[in-house]
Structure 1
C-alpha cells in the first residue's frame, strides 16, 4: 500500500464574511522579551492573518508563541523570550476572523458519515489493538524516507535492550531517522553499552547486574569528558556499535538536552535549557513526523514545539506525531498538554522498535 499525503483545503477567503472582516492589528514591542497587551497566542493548528486585505498563513508555527508581522506576506511565530523592540506583534484573542485572525481546524478533515456518535472503546489504552497503527506507520515511514523529515524523541529505555539498540541503529543507517532529540541518559547508557556491554550496570542482553556495574556509566562519562567529544570517545576506545555511533557515522543530528539530575554530563549536552530548546526547535520546525519513545517530559516538550502542519514548497501537509510508552499515563500526558494531533500506542518500546526494523528492513 502506497502512502498518500492528505490534501489540504484552504478556507475560501473570497466570500463573506472573510471579505468584510478587518485587517489584523498589531502593536510594536517596547521591551525585549515582553509582548504587548492583548497579544495573540498561537495554537497547533493552521492560522491565517489578514494583512493588507490578504489572508496570510503562518508557515512555521509553534503553540504558545506570538505571531510577528515581518514583511509583506510573512508572519513569523516567535517565542516571548526572543521578542525584540520594534517587533510587530499581532493582537486579538478571537479566532473566527472577526479580528483578522482565523484558526483553521478542518483543513485535513475527512468525514465518516457512518460513524456512531457513541461507541465502546473509542479511547486509547492497553486494550487497544494497534495493528492498523503499525501498518499506517510502516507506509508513512517508507514515504518519509524520501519525502519527509523524521524526528525521533528518545528516552533511555530504548537502549536498555540489545535488540532494540540494534534495531534503532539499523533504522538510522537505512534512512528512517533524520534527527534525534534526547537527554544525557540515553546517549550515556548507549555508549556504556557500546564500550562495556551494560546499561546502568546491567548486561544489555541478559539483564544481569554486573559486579560494581553501578560504576560503569560514571566511568563512561569520565572517559568521554577526558576525550573531549563523543567523536573522540568513539575513536579513542574503538567503540564499534551504538546508536550514537550510527548517528555520528551517518551525520544524523543528535540534540542532547541536559536536566537538573544529570551525571557528568557528556560533552555535547546543552546545560542551558533555552539553548537546548532552540536547538530542538531547529528540527521540530522541519519535522513531518515526530516519534516519541518512553520519555514523558521530552515528549511533551518536543510535541508542544511541533505544529499539526508544515509548509513545503507552498504545499501544506500534516505533521504526524506518535507517542509510544508502556504506561497509559505517559502517552496521554502529551495530549493533555495541548498536542491533540497525536497517535498514542501503549506498548513496550523495545518491541515497537524491533517490529519497525523487521518490517522496514529486510
Structure 2
C-alpha cells in the first residue's frame, strides 16, 4: 500500500504577529439560540483562538457555526440553535490573528508541490476527466482508513437500483469499509424492497423490467416495516439476508436516515425532525476521516457542510477526505459551490463506481 497520511505542519507561533496577538474577545449569550452581534463564523479550515495567552485549536469544527470559550479555557464549536444563555461567544470578523482569531490554511501544503501551469487544457473536473489516478488513490486511502480511520458513506437510491452495485456495497460493508451510513428514506426503502421482492421502485434490479403492479412494491415494503415497528424486526420477520441495510444491522454499522417532506411511509428508522437528524449525522461527521457521497445532492451538501477539512485523531491533526460521485457534473460541483472546497469529484455512474471499489478492495 502506497498511501501515506500527510503530515500536518502547525503554525509557527513564534512569528511576531502570532506571538503578540491579543486574546479573543467574548460576549455572553443573552437569549437562547441567538449569537451576539459581530460573532465569528467558522470555516472549513483549522482555526486557532488565543485564549488566556495560549493558542487553542478548535476541534470537531464545522462550517457556519460559532465558537464559545469553555470554563476550562478550551474552545467549543456550536450551531446557533445550541447556544445557551451565558455561553461566551467569540466575536470578531478578522482571521489574521489581529483579534485573537487565526484561520490557518497551510497545514497540509507540501513543500514539494509543483507549480501549476498558468494555461492548460482540461483543468476542470468533468465527464471528460481521466479518473484512473483518483481511483487508485481512493483504493489506497480506503485500505488505510479501514483500520485507522472512520469512513462515512452518504448514499442515494441509485446505489441500490442495480443488482451488482447493491451487492458490491454489501461486500464493502462486510469487509470493514464502512463505519457509518447516512441517507434518506428512499435508499433504505428500495434496498429493503430489493431484499424482499427483488425490485426497486417496481423494476427488477437486474433486468430493469417493470413488474405488474410494481408501483405498489415499495409501499407494501413500507407498510410491512411500519407493522414490524423496527428495521431489525422487519429483517427477522421477512428473513432478509442481503443488502445494504441488512449488512449495516448485521455488522453494527450506524444508520442515520434523515426525513424529507416528500417521503412515503416513512420507514420506522427515519428521523422526521430535521434538526434531530442533523444532530445524529453530526455525531459521525465529527469523527469522519473519509466521506464518500454517492448520487444524493441534498444529503451530500448537508453532510459536506457539516464536515471540516480536518479532524483530530489521537491528538494529531489530519485531513478529512471527501468524495462526491455522481453521473451529473452539476451535482458533484454543487457541493464545492456550497463551500466544501476540500472535495474530490468523480463524474461517473455510481453503480460502476461501487463495483470498481469492490473488485479492487476485496479481491
Fold conserved (TM > 0.5)?
yes
Distance 1:45 1:86 in 2: 27
- Secondary structure at the aligned position of 2:70 is classed as strand
Indicate whether 1:203 and 2:204 are aligned.
yes
Secondary structure of 2:123's partner?
coil
What's the counterpart of residue 345 of structure 1? 346
- The residue number in structure 1 matching 2:102 is 102
The corresponding residue for 1:47 is 47
Deviation at 1:229, TM superposition (A): 0.5
Are 1:56 and 2:47 counterparts? no
Q: Distance in 1 between matches of 2:23 and 2:118?
A: 38
> How far 1:112 sits from its partner (Å)?
2.7
Distance 2:115 2:324 in 1: 28
Q: Tell me the equivalent position of 2:180.
A: 179
- Aligned match of 1:34: 34
Moved more, 278-287 or 111-120: 111-120
CA apart distance, 1:113:
3.8
Displacement of 1:114 in angstroms is 4.2
Deviation at 1:59, TM superposition (A): 1.1
How far the C-alpha of 1:143 sits from its partner, in A, is 0.1
Taking the aligned partners of 1:124 and 1:113, their CA distance within structure 2 comes to 19
The count of residues paired between Structure 1 and Structure 2 equals: 362
Partner of 1:7: 7
The equivalent residue for 1:66 is: 66
Distance 1:309 1:114 in 2: 24
- Map 1:319-338 to 2 at 5 A: 319-338=320-339
Aligned to 1:279: 280
Is the CA contact 2:52–2:73 (under 8 Å) kept in the aligned structure 1? no
Deviations 1:135-178 (A, max 9, x none): 00000000000000000000000000000000000000000000
Unpaired runs of 5+ residues, structure 2, are none
* CA deviation after TM superposition for structure 1 residue 117, in Å: 2.2
1:258 counterpart residue number = 259
Alignment of 1:119 with 2:116, yes or no, is no
Which residue number in structure 2 is paired with residue 267 of structure 1? Answer: 268
Partner SS for 1:323: strand
Shift of 1:118: 2.2
Aligned residue in 2 for 1:16: 16
Q: Distance in 2 between the 1:15 and 1:339 partners?
A: 29
1:149 aligns with 2:150: yes
Map of 1:298-317 to 2, 5 A cutoff? Answer: 298-317=299-318
State the alpha-carbon separation in 2 of the partners of residues 260 and 324 from structure 1.
24
Q: Aligned with 1:164: secondary structure? A: helix
Q: Distance in 2 between matches of 1:147 and 1:202?
A: 39
Distance in 2 separating the partners of 1:53 and 1:13: 12
In structure 2, the residue corresponding to 1:344 is in which secondary structure?
A: strand
Tell me the CA shift for residue 184 of structure 1.
0.2
- The alpha-carbon deviation at position 321 of structure 1 amounts to 0.1
Map 1:133-172; keep pairs closer than 5 Å: 133-172=134-173
Residue 308 (structure 1) shift:
0.2
Aligned counterparts of 1:52 and 1:275: Cα–Cα separation in 2:
35
Structure 1 residue ranges without an equivalent (≥5): none
TM-superposed deviation, 1:241: 0.9
1:260-301 per-position Cα deviation (integer Å, ceiling 9, x unaligned) = 000000001000000000000000000000000000000000
Structure 1 segments, 4+ long, off by >4 Å, are none
State how far apart, in whole Å, the 1-side matches of 2:115 and 2:308 are.
30
